[in-house]
Protein backbone atom coordinates (compact mmCIF):
# COMPACT_ATOMS: atom_id res chain seq x y z
CA UNK A 1 0.00 0.00 0.00
CA UNK A 2 1.34 3.43 -0.96
CA UNK A 3 2.20 5.63 2.01
CA UNK A 4 1.06 9.24 2.25
CA UNK A 5 4.70 10.25 1.78
CA UNK A 6 5.00 8.39 -1.52
CA UNK A 7 1.69 9.94 -2.58
CA UNK A 8 2.93 13.43 -1.69
CA UNK A 9 6.06 12.92 -3.79
CA UNK A 10 3.71 11.98 -6.60
CA UNK A 11 1.75 15.18 -6.05
CA UNK A 12 4.76 17.32 -6.92
CA UNK A 13 5.35 15.45 -10.20
CA UNK A 14 3.19 17.90 -12.16
CA UNK A 15 5.07 20.83 -10.66
CA UNK A 16 8.42 19.22 -11.50
CA UNK A 17 7.29 18.50 -15.04
CA UNK A 18 6.13 22.09 -15.47
CA UNK A 19 9.50 23.42 -14.34
CA UNK A 20 11.22 21.10 -16.82
CA UNK A 21 9.12 22.52 -19.67
CA UNK A 22 10.70 26.02 -19.51
CA UNK A 23 7.15 27.31 -19.99
CA UNK A 24 5.94 30.05 -17.62
CA UNK A 25 2.24 29.31 -18.19
CA UNK A 26 2.67 25.65 -17.28
CA UNK A 27 4.56 26.58 -14.13
CA UNK A 28 1.91 29.09 -13.09
CA UNK A 29 -0.88 26.55 -13.57
CA UNK A 30 1.02 23.88 -11.62
CA UNK A 31 1.63 26.26 -8.72
CA UNK A 32 -2.07 27.11 -8.52
CA UNK A 33 -2.98 23.42 -8.73
CA UNK A 34 -0.73 22.22 -5.92
CA UNK A 35 -0.83 25.11 -3.40
CA UNK A 36 -3.79 25.74 -1.12
CA UNK A 37 -5.22 29.27 -1.60
CA UNK A 38 -4.08 30.37 1.86
CA UNK A 39 -0.79 28.46 2.00
CA UNK A 40 1.79 30.02 4.31
CA UNK A 41 5.01 30.69 2.38
CA UNK A 42 8.36 31.77 3.82
CA UNK A 43 11.22 32.63 1.49
CA UNK A 44 14.62 34.28 1.65
CA UNK A 45 15.16 38.03 1.88
CA UNK A 46 13.83 40.19 0.24
CA UNK A 47 10.61 38.17 -0.25
CA UNK A 48 10.07 36.84 3.29
CA UNK A 49 6.39 36.18 4.12
CA UNK A 50 3.83 35.41 1.38
CA UNK A 51 0.36 33.90 1.29
CA UNK A 52 -0.97 31.56 -1.35
CA UNK A 53 -0.08 30.82 -4.96
CA UNK A 54 -1.10 34.25 -6.24
CA UNK A 55 1.58 36.07 -4.23
CA UNK A 56 4.12 33.34 -4.94
CA UNK A 57 3.58 33.76 -8.66
CA UNK A 58 3.12 37.54 -8.87
CA UNK A 59 5.94 38.56 -6.53
CA UNK A 60 8.48 35.82 -7.13
CA UNK A 61 8.13 33.64 -10.19
CA UNK A 62 6.66 36.08 -12.71
CA UNK A 63 9.60 38.52 -12.28
CA UNK A 64 12.06 35.62 -12.37
CA UNK A 65 10.63 34.35 -15.65
CA UNK A 66 10.75 37.92 -16.93
CA UNK A 67 14.49 37.92 -16.32
CA UNK A 68 15.04 34.34 -17.54
CA UNK A 69 12.33 33.39 -20.07
CA UNK A 70 13.79 29.89 -20.57
CA UNK A 71 13.93 29.19 -16.83
CA UNK A 72 13.85 25.57 -15.66
CA UNK A 73 14.50 23.68 -12.43
CA UNK A 74 16.70 20.63 -12.18
CA UNK A 75 15.98 18.67 -9.00
CA UNK A 76 18.74 16.52 -7.55
CA UNK A 77 16.83 15.70 -4.34
CA UNK A 78 13.21 14.68 -3.89
CA UNK A 79 12.33 13.06 -0.59
CA UNK A 80 9.43 12.97 1.86
CA UNK A 81 8.53 11.90 5.36
CA UNK A 82 6.70 12.70 8.57
CA UNK A 83 8.05 15.31 10.94
CA UNK A 84 10.45 13.41 13.17
CA UNK A 85 10.40 13.48 16.96
CA UNK A 86 8.11 12.76 19.86
CA UNK A 87 4.74 14.54 19.76
CA UNK A 88 5.58 16.03 16.33
CA UNK A 89 3.21 15.97 13.39
CA UNK A 90 3.05 17.01 9.75
CA UNK A 91 3.92 15.42 6.40
CA UNK A 92 6.69 17.07 4.38
CA UNK A 93 8.34 16.89 0.97
CA UNK A 94 11.87 18.18 0.40
CA UNK A 95 13.17 19.41 -2.96
CA UNK A 96 16.69 20.53 -3.81
CA UNK A 97 18.35 21.40 -7.08
CA UNK A 98 19.32 24.24 -9.36
CA UNK A 99 17.46 26.84 -11.37
CA UNK A 100 19.00 27.10 -14.83
CA UNK A 101 18.24 29.80 -17.39
CA UNK A 102 19.59 32.48 -19.68
CA UNK A 103 19.93 35.66 -17.62
CA UNK A 104 18.50 38.13 -20.15
CA UNK A 105 17.09 40.98 -18.03
CA UNK A 106 17.80 42.35 -14.52
CA UNK A 107 16.30 40.58 -11.52
CA UNK A 108 16.41 42.22 -8.09
CA UNK A 109 18.67 44.76 -9.82
CA UNK A 110 21.28 42.06 -10.44
CA UNK A 111 22.70 42.87 -13.89
CA UNK A 112 21.99 40.29 -16.61
CA UNK A 113 24.82 38.35 -18.19
CA UNK A 114 23.07 37.26 -21.39
CA UNK A 115 24.45 33.80 -20.62
CA UNK A 116 23.19 30.65 -18.88
CA UNK A 117 23.31 30.81 -15.08
CA UNK A 118 22.44 28.52 -12.18
CA UNK A 119 21.02 29.20 -8.72
CA UNK A 120 20.61 26.49 -6.09
CA UNK A 121 17.34 26.14 -4.21
CA UNK A 122 16.08 24.12 -1.24
CA UNK A 123 12.32 23.96 -0.66
CA UNK A 124 10.26 22.11 1.94
CA UNK A 125 6.53 21.65 1.43
CA UNK A 126 4.01 20.56 4.06
CA UNK A 127 0.98 18.74 2.70
CA UNK A 128 -2.53 18.36 4.04
CA UNK A 129 -5.20 16.51 2.05
CA UNK A 130 -3.09 16.58 -1.09
CA UNK A 131 -2.37 20.34 -1.05
CA UNK A 132 0.66 22.37 0.01
CA UNK A 133 -0.39 24.35 3.07
CA UNK A 134 3.06 25.50 4.16
CA UNK A 135 6.31 26.16 2.31
CA UNK A 136 9.78 27.14 3.45
CA UNK A 137 12.29 27.89 0.72
CA UNK A 138 15.76 29.37 0.37
CA UNK A 139 17.39 30.26 -2.95
CA UNK A 140 21.06 31.08 -3.34
CA UNK A 141 20.63 34.61 -4.71
CA UNK A 142 24.27 35.47 -3.90
CA UNK A 143 25.26 32.69 -6.31
CA UNK A 144 23.61 34.68 -9.08
CA UNK A 145 25.41 37.88 -8.00
CA UNK A 146 28.70 35.99 -8.14
CA UNK A 147 28.12 34.81 -11.71
CA UNK A 148 26.98 38.28 -12.78
CA UNK A 149 30.27 39.78 -11.55
CA UNK A 150 28.27 41.88 -9.10
CA UNK A 151 29.58 40.45 -5.85
CA UNK A 152 28.89 42.89 -2.97
CA UNK A 153 30.01 40.80 0.01
CA UNK A 154 33.25 39.63 1.60
CA UNK A 155 35.40 36.80 0.18
CA UNK A 156 34.21 33.30 1.01
CA UNK A 157 36.46 30.69 2.59
CA UNK A 158 35.05 27.69 0.76
CA UNK A 159 35.02 26.77 -2.91
CA UNK A 160 32.33 28.09 -5.27
CA UNK A 161 30.74 25.57 -7.62
CA UNK A 162 27.51 24.10 -8.95
CA UNK A 163 27.18 21.27 -6.45
CA UNK A 164 25.98 17.85 -7.61
CA UNK A 165 23.32 15.60 -6.14
CA UNK A 166 23.97 12.59 -3.90
CA UNK A 167 26.93 10.44 -4.85
CA UNK A 168 24.78 7.30 -5.18
CA UNK A 169 22.62 8.92 -7.88
CA UNK A 170 19.48 8.23 -5.85
CA UNK A 171 18.58 11.72 -4.66
CA UNK A 172 15.19 11.45 -6.36
CA UNK A 173 13.80 8.85 -3.97
CA UNK A 174 11.48 6.52 -5.88
CA UNK A 175 11.53 3.57 -3.47
CA UNK A 176 8.60 3.17 -1.02
CA UNK A 177 9.11 5.10 2.19
CA UNK A 178 11.18 3.01 4.61
CA UNK A 179 10.21 4.09 8.12
CA UNK A 180 12.96 2.07 9.87
CA UNK A 181 15.82 3.34 7.70
CA UNK A 182 14.44 6.87 7.90
CA UNK A 183 14.36 6.70 11.70
CA UNK A 184 18.00 5.59 11.84
CA UNK A 185 19.11 8.37 9.47
CA UNK A 186 17.24 11.08 11.36
CA UNK A 187 18.65 9.88 14.69
CA UNK A 188 22.23 10.03 13.34
CA UNK A 189 21.86 13.64 12.20
CA UNK A 190 20.07 14.62 15.42
CA UNK A 191 22.90 13.20 17.53
CA UNK A 192 25.54 14.84 15.31
CA UNK A 193 23.96 18.28 15.58
CA UNK A 194 23.97 18.06 19.36
CA UNK A 195 27.63 17.02 19.33
CA UNK A 196 28.53 19.88 16.95
CA UNK A 197 27.21 22.38 19.49
CA UNK A 198 30.05 21.40 21.83
CA UNK A 199 32.65 22.79 19.42
CA UNK A 200 34.79 25.82 20.24
CA UNK A 201 37.35 27.96 18.39
CA UNK A 202 40.01 25.64 19.82
CA UNK A 203 38.02 22.53 18.86
CA UNK A 204 36.32 23.39 15.53
CA UNK A 205 36.17 19.73 14.41
CA UNK A 206 33.88 18.68 17.28
CA UNK A 207 30.97 16.65 15.89
CA UNK A 208 32.80 15.45 12.77
CA UNK A 209 34.57 12.36 14.10
CA UNK A 210 32.26 9.36 14.40
CA UNK A 211 29.50 11.08 12.41
CA UNK A 212 31.03 12.30 9.14
CA UNK A 213 32.74 10.29 6.40
CA UNK A 214 36.47 11.07 6.05
CA UNK A 215 35.81 12.49 2.57
CA UNK A 216 32.50 14.18 3.35
CA UNK A 217 31.57 17.31 1.43
CA UNK A 218 29.78 20.30 2.98
CA UNK A 219 27.99 22.13 0.15
CA UNK A 220 27.41 25.57 1.60
CA UNK A 221 25.64 28.60 0.12
CA UNK A 222 27.60 31.24 -1.75
CA UNK A 223 29.24 33.41 0.88
CA UNK A 224 30.50 30.32 2.69
CA UNK A 225 31.26 27.97 -0.20
CA UNK A 226 31.94 24.23 -0.16
CA UNK A 227 34.52 22.22 1.77
CA UNK A 228 35.70 18.59 1.52
CA UNK A 229 37.05 16.48 4.37
CA UNK A 230 37.14 17.01 8.12
CA UNK A 231 39.97 19.56 8.17
CA UNK A 232 38.48 21.85 5.53
CA UNK A 233 34.96 21.63 6.98
CA UNK A 234 36.29 22.41 10.44
CA UNK A 235 38.70 25.22 9.50
CA UNK A 236 36.98 26.88 6.53
CA UNK A 237 33.38 26.56 7.68
CA UNK A 238 32.81 25.62 11.33
CA UNK A 239 35.58 27.91 12.57
CA UNK A 240 33.70 30.93 11.22
CA UNK A 241 30.84 30.13 13.57
CA UNK A 242 33.18 29.32 16.49
CA UNK A 243 35.20 32.54 16.28
CA UNK A 244 32.63 34.93 14.91
CA UNK A 245 29.59 34.10 17.03
CA UNK A 246 28.95 33.87 20.75
CA UNK A 247 25.87 32.64 22.61
CA UNK A 248 25.41 30.49 19.51
CA UNK A 249 22.28 28.41 20.08
CA UNK A 250 20.64 25.92 17.69
CA UNK A 251 16.85 25.67 17.96
CA UNK A 252 16.73 21.98 17.14
CA UNK A 253 13.59 21.17 19.11
CA UNK A 254 11.66 23.87 17.26
CA UNK A 255 12.86 22.87 13.81
CA UNK A 256 11.36 20.35 11.42
CA UNK A 257 13.27 17.12 10.79
CA UNK A 258 12.11 14.51 8.29
CA UNK A 259 13.87 11.62 6.58
CA UNK A 260 13.42 9.32 3.61
CA UNK A 261 15.73 6.32 3.63
CA UNK A 262 19.29 7.64 3.67
CA UNK A 263 18.32 11.29 3.17
CA UNK A 264 17.54 13.67 6.03
CA UNK A 265 16.09 17.19 5.92
CA UNK A 266 16.03 19.91 8.57
CA UNK A 267 14.46 23.35 8.46
CA UNK A 268 14.59 25.93 11.19
CA UNK A 269 13.04 29.40 10.92
CA UNK A 270 15.12 30.46 12.71
CA UNK A 271 17.44 27.48 13.09
CA UNK A 272 19.67 29.37 15.49
CA UNK A 273 20.44 32.65 17.24
CA UNK A 274 23.79 34.15 18.17
CA UNK A 275 25.66 37.36 18.92
CA UNK A 276 27.97 38.55 16.14
CA UNK A 277 30.94 39.22 18.38
CA UNK A 278 34.00 38.13 16.37
CA UNK A 279 35.68 39.05 13.10
CA UNK A 280 35.83 35.66 11.42
CA UNK A 281 32.15 35.21 10.54
CA UNK A 282 31.70 35.99 6.82
CA UNK A 283 34.85 38.11 7.10
CA UNK A 284 32.90 40.92 8.77
CA UNK A 285 33.96 43.14 11.64
CA UNK A 286 31.98 42.29 14.79
CA UNK A 287 28.75 44.24 15.08
CA UNK A 288 27.69 43.10 18.54
CA UNK A 289 24.21 42.44 17.17
CA UNK A 290 22.05 39.43 17.89
CA UNK A 291 21.25 37.61 14.66
CA UNK A 292 18.89 34.85 13.65
CA UNK A 293 19.71 32.42 10.85
CA UNK A 294 17.23 30.51 8.75
CA UNK A 295 18.41 27.28 7.14
CA UNK A 296 17.16 24.38 5.05
CA UNK A 297 19.60 21.48 5.00
CA UNK A 298 19.86 18.02 3.47
CA UNK A 299 22.17 15.17 4.55
CA UNK A 300 23.05 11.97 2.70
CA UNK A 301 23.94 8.98 4.89
CA UNK A 302 26.30 6.26 3.64
CA UNK A 303 27.17 3.22 5.77
CA UNK A 304 26.13 5.00 8.96
CA UNK A 305 28.12 8.18 8.26
CA UNK A 306 27.28 11.55 6.73
CA UNK A 307 28.75 11.49 3.23
CA UNK A 308 27.34 14.77 1.94
CA UNK A 309 25.54 17.77 3.36
CA UNK A 310 23.75 20.48 1.38
CA UNK A 311 23.34 23.60 3.51
CA UNK A 312 21.29 26.64 2.59
CA UNK A 313 21.32 29.78 4.73
CA UNK A 314 19.75 33.15 4.05
CA UNK A 315 23.13 34.89 3.72
CA UNK A 316 21.64 38.17 2.50
CA UNK A 317 19.44 38.33 5.59
CA UNK A 318 22.45 37.69 7.83
CA UNK A 319 24.12 40.74 6.30
CA UNK A 320 20.88 42.72 6.74
CA UNK A 321 20.77 41.94 10.45
CA UNK A 322 24.41 42.94 10.86
CA UNK A 323 23.61 46.27 9.22
CA UNK A 324 24.68 45.78 5.58
CA UNK A 325 22.13 46.18 2.77
CA UNK A 326 23.57 43.84 0.17
CA UNK A 327 21.34 45.11 -2.65
CA UNK A 328 22.20 48.77 -2.01
CA UNK A 329 25.88 47.91 -1.84
CA UNK A 330 25.69 45.95 -5.09
CA UNK A 331 23.93 48.86 -6.82
CA UNK A 332 26.49 51.39 -5.59
CA UNK A 333 29.35 49.19 -6.77
CA UNK A 334 27.75 48.83 -10.19
CA UNK A 335 27.24 52.59 -10.49
CA UNK A 336 30.87 53.23 -9.55
CA UNK A 337 32.04 50.67 -12.09
CA UNK A 338 29.88 52.15 -14.86
CA UNK A 339 31.12 55.66 -14.09
CA UNK A 340 34.79 54.67 -14.23
- 77 and 8 assigned to the same domain: yes
pLDDT computed for residue 1 by the predictor: 67
The answer to whether the beta carbons of residues 94 and 85 sit under 8 Å apart is no
Which range is least confidently modeled, 17-21, 194-198, 227-231, 318-322? Answer: 194-198
| CA–CA separation, 217 and 166 (whole Å) | 10
Q: How far apart are CA 284 and CA 156, in angstroms?
A: 11
Cis peptide before 221 (omega within 30 of 0): no
What's 215's domain CATH number? 3.10.450.50
- Is there a domain that residue 340 lies in? no
pLDDT digits (tens, 9 = 90+) for 277-326: 988 888 888 999 999 999 999 999 999 999 999 999 999 999 999 999 99
Check whether residue 34 and residue 81 sit in a common domain. Answer: yes
Which of residues 127, 147, 167 is at a domain's end? 147
CA dihedral sign of residues 281, 286, 287, 288 = positive
Domain hosting residue 139, numbered range: 4-147
Mean pLDDT score, 79-105: 96
Establish if 333 belongs to a structural domain. Answer: no
Residue 334 is assigned to a structural domain of this protein: no
323 and 183 in one domain? yes
Alpha-carbon distance of 276 to 294, in angstroms, equals: 15
- The answer as to whether 153 is a domain residue is no
Q: Are 200 and 253 in a shared domain?
A: yes
Q: Are strands 226-228 and 212-219 parallel, antiparallel or unpaired?
A: antiparallel
Residues 29, 143, single domain; the answer is yes
Mean pLDDT, the chain, rounded, equals: 94
Evaluate if residue 340 carries a pLDDT over 80.
no
Q: Give the model's confidence band at 187: pLDDT under 50 very low, under 70 low, under 90 confident, else very high.
A: very high
**Mean pLDDT along residues 49-61:** 98
Q: Is 191 found in the same domain as 138?
A: no
Q: Is residue 136 part of a domain?
A: yes
Q: Do 184 and 143 share a domain, yes or no? A: no
Q: What is the pLDDT of residues 195-204, one digit of tens each?
A: 988 888 788 8
In a domain, 339, yes or no: no
Considering the domain architecture, whether residues 224 and 274 belong to the same structural domain is answered as yes
In this structure, are 143 and 10 located in the same domain? yes
- Extended strands (E) in 20-71: 35-42, 49-51
Instruction: Flag whether 336 is in a domain.
Output: no
Looking only at the bridges linking them, the beta strands covering 131-139 and 35-42 are parallel
Residue 121 lies in a domain: yes
Amino acid sequence: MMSVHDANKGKVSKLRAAFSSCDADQVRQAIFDIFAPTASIRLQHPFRELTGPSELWDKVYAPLFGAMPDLERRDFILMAGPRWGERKSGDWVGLGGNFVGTFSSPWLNIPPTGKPIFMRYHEYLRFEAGKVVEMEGLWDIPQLMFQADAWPMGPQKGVEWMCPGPIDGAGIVSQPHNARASEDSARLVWDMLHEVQKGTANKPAEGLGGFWHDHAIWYGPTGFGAARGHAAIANDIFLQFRRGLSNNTRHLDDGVFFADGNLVAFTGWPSGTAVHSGEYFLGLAPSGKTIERSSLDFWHIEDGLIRECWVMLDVIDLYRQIGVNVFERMHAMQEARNAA
